[in-house]
Structure 1
């Protein structure tokens, strides 16, 4: 009993312990911050804590015993799919981890990570229980998204900067492949983005290859930064220098190389220019010393040319002096070799003569076509360009000039060369003055008085002092004047008294080489001290003179104050060149973050016509600005690109606006780009810069071109329509409708001028019945009414209002029309009025004056088209009459022949009548030929006008044409030429048959004619790939060259037309006094039965190529006529069908007229 009680007690204690443990875990699950759900095998909820209830906003009692899908499907569209995946993983693996789940509650979206486990234990009898733990990840995910959005925004800013930067930006991988390139990189290299991304970096670098790139990669990895200058090659093959700055970046264990490339072409040019200028300055300084160290004129001139060639890097040159008002050149330096020449130029003759007139330098970089260059001299000396610089003394008198040449392809001379050469010319002028002065001194010799006179004439200071105490023995007036001492005072002074830069020891050191005769002359640069204590720079030329056993020093001193000032100015000029290199022709304005203008360059000030005071401190919305859109409406300041860029933080490009420029007092059209600039890690711009391009002239040109093109289109349409028709009614209707459209009026008429000088109505639009009856039933003479007045005066009549119309209207029907505007244009051709074009309106509308000018311009062409149509109708009527007469005569002839068979007794009478009929036929045939010759001339005249006007349009005399306009006008031009060629053939045949063909005999070479024929058809030969073999020797002929050319051209063009492949042979042989020219081809040949038809007019033989080739059947007929009746020869043909033909032309060497 006791044992049983103990066992029960132990069981009770175990059960209590288990109950306490279960309550503890249940309390723990209920208090968990994560949602906990236990479901059974049927997916019903058997346990849920308060946290999960909060997640789905539901009471726990409503959840127990229900399917979990009932709740999850309300909150997530894919709940079934996710839960099945969770359950599948749990049952398969016993556990599921980090399954993502998203719930959409009434207020927001929440994100969860679900971990689940299968409850299997020996103490748990029920199977299929799954416990799932729901962790709320909403705050973490939202935080990550916010960080990602901020990162993306910064990336967008970075992309905008990279996209708009003018430098090339690129990312590369270690193999040299492009990972990223910006727009500037594509633009600088000339590739599309996709094209460039397919290349490697050494594909655009002509100096690099894979080995060198690998070396650069190793350097990157070691130093992390790469900075160098290189050469890039564009897509078109051109090369340009670049400055590369790049860095090594490692992301996600991948290596990248990020870099910037800047085109430094302009910088290189500037550096080259500065380097060349510095070299020229050094050469100029040395040259000045070299020229001034000698006093012999020939040596001075030689040194001058040598120095000039060195400064300008030229290959040849010469220097000349003025002698008797002419400039004489006696020596020529080419590549350091001296040659004697003898060229003398008077004023106005050649380039030296031109420089004598102007006393100004002259440059010619195209000596071959320069009007001042003497071409015979140029050919002798073989130079391509030149620069001639005058040598002027201090008074501006010309002492001579020197000219440098380039005898090979070389850079062009420019004004910077002239600046250097002028400095050299100044030194040469001083040296020549000194040399001539020394020559004068030597000539005077011991005559001291004459010497003093000569020395006093010099503008330089001249001193003579002894070699012991350096006391002055002679001072010229120039020295006294410059120093400010009297001659008496200077007589008591020494040379060292006026040279503060030397003491006796130093001065004797310099003059020792002269005393020892080691040097003949000495050149020093120092300062002299005036009597008032001021100093000035000088150039000292010192020479030892031996006179009566004593040593004297001759000092010639040149004041170089102006030269020093010029050198300083030259230095400043060099600085200006650097500044000029840094300036821009494009206007640039900077605005701060509030839109206030803080800076504007000179170009912007000029474009806007405003000073810095009117720009700085103002904003684009300031009421003082006047701006308009392209349609003339106001352009408000808040829509200015700078203000828009500040608001939107985006670039604004290619905005066109008109701004009022107060300086020129008109609106200037500008194209504006605005680019906001932001600091690192900021999104709000701290400033924006705008670029301004003045497009006023471009816009005006485009507007004028558009108007001109529209006018040209209208003119082309009317002219092509009128010239393409021969039906006069179609011409009148078309022209009248188009003219009414052009001027925009409501109606119009076209009247003919009859031979009796009366008007006949041809076409009308919107005309009253009374006026139509009046014009058709009554004879209205020239001078009457509105149309008649224009026909009488042969000039347009413009009546701008009702009163003017009433004044000129002589017909009652016209007065009743209530016409308020009327314009009448006479249609004149060859000085004769053939009709009148009238346009009118009954409203107050007035047409544009330019449109009226178009009507006036095309009136003559309309008149010509009307006249052509009239001639065409007359020709048709006359031809019909001739055909009837010929048919009648033929019928009579037939009847006569029947009568001859039946009535033999009347044979003589019938023969007489037949003879008369034949003569009449001959007369009619002659009349026909004369008629064709006459009418063909009338047709050829307007065709020449059509060809002429269309040629003018094609050559751009009336403005640029669109491709469509050019194609249409080219068709009109080609068709006109073809028709003119046919008419010329008809005229030639008519002239031959009428016996009026003119023969022009001249002496010429046959080979030149053959070459001209082949050259004319070169394009057709090349198109078919035909080989032409010419066996023609030089042969002189005395015959009609034009007709022979015409015959050979016809035969050769036929050979080209009917030969698809193979060759064409042209052979000329001379036998006695005759020439035989044969043209053979490997074409389709001619059937034997067709050969007799070849020379019949208007007959074309049937062949496979007939449909492909054009022709009228007149060529061979005309060629035989010309050969027989003009050239006095014959034409024969030999042909084998499908193998080719040979046409032989045999003519005498000299034609007898």
Structure 2
């Protein structure tokens, strides 16, 4: 820039000298013309010198002045030639192109530098119009034409613009043009002088620089890479568009201060960043940290989100090794940090997984195994890496098994199946394996991932369960209680033979039906309807609560009598007990005989109240035993085996013992009743109550009314 100013000053000085020389030459011509005229007069007047002394004296008086003028003229001519030589040297050897043109644009003179710039010789250029030097596209409407007009019309002394010329060889020449008009004493433009500076390379460099800056900006945008500058002298900072956006600011370059940068960083990371920035300026540090790399810190943007940035910075120094500027880049690695966290979680999950996990290449060479693999197979990682899983083969899997496996995974599908492998110790173990292909960026299969679940314990448990199930099925099948299994919705899945017998339906007839089936009718003890949704099994499924000894009457068919059952329901939970049960087991006992005995007992109580007065009227102590036996044998028609249930009645004792044995569902119940003898009625009542209540003696062939009539007739005969 300074060189251009110096050249411009010298050029203007030269132009001034040219103007002075031109004026001096005009004055010289005038003086020469006057001298010639004077010398002619002197020649003509020689003959009159003698005529008049006054005239001669006048002439002699003027001669010294003219001689002085002539001497001055000669000196001026010498100086003019010297100035012209200097101007010519400056004009010819100037590093910029110089041209002289008249007011019509015709070139009068050009210097060698301009000849070199345009590729033409002096002779080829002189006489051409200036506009012919311009690029054809510029000749249509040239700014230079307007410049000449402005010089002529608006009396502008100089003007500067950028012109595009065409080299003799056809290439473009970009130049900076400075033109000035040389004016006469009246202000009219005599001619135009122009200075041409070739800026083609400069313009190309600027274009390359602008293009590079654009590419850098685009690359930063594509790479999401921010750029920043920090000037330690005044703590000014510059943020690029991307860096501004990373900090939550509008996407544009920002001139700001270091404090604003610190404010964007969360408090826990501010000192950490300050330390690394100031460490670059620490002259006491002999190591002189010139830069830092991959500095991670968190920023809180304006919407409240927290980002993690990774920055690298470098200190720039002046020529005298003083800190000048710190430049740096920043990358938003928030997603990468989340990915790294996810990968750590996945890695931890893989490492801590109870399933055996291994990764092979496309050829089946093992490249990774997790700790569970060692625990299950017995092989250490170094024993299996770079080997194939063949070392686990038990020899029990056929060739077709492996052919199907490889054909499945090589076509990109997932294979699942069970392996019988051999432990390092030689023992067999079982695994359920899922093998999935892993594809690269070209969607080509590069690796295989195998996840193996150890089934050894499961198989042992299944075998034990099968054995246990067989035993339990045998027990359940032989039970006298009915057992029914219902799923979550109440549908019957299975039942035992006792349930079929009690309910009068086969397992096939009950399968898939539930208590909500309208074909099943049931009643409560009081005779009211017992809706299906209130059945113990359905309530247990809805609440998870068990029920015991719920009495229900069911109709096997609409024509049959009610079958009375006592129901127990127990929920089954397969997962969290706090959730609803997934199934329910219902057990029930047929209590129809018991309900019949209850009915007879209620009727007997009525009869007893009727005959009680007769006992007190005609019975005495001596008649007790005979009356008792007569009642048992004649009235109740007891068999010998039934009479065997009653023993040890002592005539002289005031207590009567009655021992009853009742067999119900393969269980024996022994009930001992002791009652105080307070009369014949009381004794008879003692004897009848246990029999009727416990169902040991059930009179099925006599109606209640007929039985009551027999008892009445018996006591009437005794009275008579």
Does the TM-score normalized on the shorter chain lie above 0.5? Answer: no
Task: Give the alignment's TM-score, normalised by structure 1.
Answer: 0.18
Computing the radius of gyration from Cα coordinates, the structure with the larger value is 2
Task: Give the alignment's TM-score, normalised by structure 2.
Answer: 0.27
Q: Which has the higher contact order (CA 8 A, sep 6+)?
A: 2
